[in-house]
Structure 1
Amino acid sequence: MPEPVNDRLFDALVGELYPLATQAARIVAYLADTPVGMDSSDRELSSRLGDVSAEHVAIVRRSLIENGLAVRSSFASRLVASASVLAALADNLRGIAAYLRVHKDRDAVRLVLTEPGLKSALRRAIDDAQALPPVVFQTSDAFFNLARGAKQELVILSPFMDPQGAELMVELFSLCRPEVRRVLISRPLAEPQCGNAFNPRAADFRRLNVSVIEYALPSSLPSGRETFHAKVVLANDSEYYVGSSNFMGSALERSFECGVFVRGETAKQMRSVLLAIQSVGKPIRNY
């Protein structure tokens, strides 16, 4: 008679492992059949399975240990769960993987972070609380994914930039295919928080045929003008980043920034907003 399954335990494991359900199912099924495989290193186990990385193995191993299905002793780990429990878990993960292959949400949303430096107190607290799933994008990774995936257009909306940020923009626009429309929307280049970084790289932006739009209009607001503070990177009408990160070294590497990477229908809405900004903004013809 099969060993009874703890639903709460399975919910916790599936909740942790669903982003890589296909790989996790293969790893867990292998361990159910070959328990001694738990003694292998992450790289050794991944090489036996194929199409599974050492990182995938490490994530599964950690989840099994933290949820009491395995234990760590010195530098080794061993299973304490029975083969039937592991087989049931593998079946659950296969079901999740099949669901994810056929079910498409209107939008897929993923958390994007910039950590405040290496070994920060914030990172230690997040790790201690186990507050993050195994796969979380870094902000710069999200930007590179968008640039590489752009087929029709890449639009960057950034109110401020510094030399490091301008260099990153040039790199992102350089990654685009020749036919991709490239757009930068900024505050006025005459202002130091934009122009001091943009002007030394102006030739690179021209070479890449980047259309530059300034969005800062006279207004009856107390500030005297209508402008923006949002930060967006949009690829086509299918995916985008929106969050707190400016194109500045501090935001890209040294301060905590938070945003989301979105793929789906709302990208069309975001593109409509950016097109509206371009329609009221000031195109810079000779920069």
Structure 2
Amino acid sequence: MKPLLPALLALAVSTPVLAAKIAMEDQSQIPPAPAKPEGQQWFQPPHERDLPDDAFGRLVQQGRAIFVDTRNQASEYVGNGMNCTNCHLDQGRQANSAPLWGAYTMYPAYRKKNDKVNSYAERIQGCFQFSMNGTAPPADGAVINALTAYSYWMSTGAPVNQSLPGRMYPVIAEPQGGYDLARGKQVYAEQCAICHGDNGQGQKSGDDFVFPPLWGKDSYNWGAGMHRINTAAAFIKTSMPLGKGGSLSDADAWHVAAYMNSHERPQDPRLVDGSVEKTRVRFHANDGVNLYGQKVNGVVLGQGTR
């Protein structure tokens, strides 16, 4: 069982923690999640009805509100049309979709890519910088405090520093011969466009996205973990199309992930000296399978949307 964080309810700490620039968003330094033993359930987070009617319960509810409606509840830090729950499905509960109950107990953790031990607050800051194409909320501020409380509560009863089954997106092997963009385009038209639009623009109700954009100016930027084809393929395989997770073959999940990530999107905020090539070498050359800085259909990707 986890000890209660003594300063969880505080909106400030005695020594302010600055919002550090996060170099990478991956969690590759953490041991991979084991497979779920046959016949066992995934870890079960608590129900909202079990929240206490006190300051802690209200802070958790605030964190949940930010998590599911990030674009409106934390608008000053969000630069696109995304919400946390677009990637962490079912309000951060769903196994194999990077659930909060599997993430919180694994931090602090050393991350090889930026050569430092990252706190859980820094991990959340990275999501805002990359997946939300925004700016990092202060680590000691109200937004991070509420999201941390929500994550802490969701992991009630989870073991500390143990990689639970279902904690991450599962690894999906790349198809023999590699991905096929033409096949990916076909899969997208048949399976994805009905929700995410013919041009990956997503769907709105009023000013809010009902289905998130997958490329273009309102999508995640080139620094987000989902720009890696292998990461996107794993998410798609288990969770997409919505409500029909597991219906695509491994190969088609790879093909459509590659097609999705063969389109331009906002620039990587870590752009080195204004150079896509320098940024590719420094941050993308050894970061999974990705198309940043690669030529696709005669165009070098990574210039960023205008």
Pairwise TM-score range, normalised by the shorter structure: under 0.3
Greater share of residues in strand: 1
Greater share of residues in helix: 1
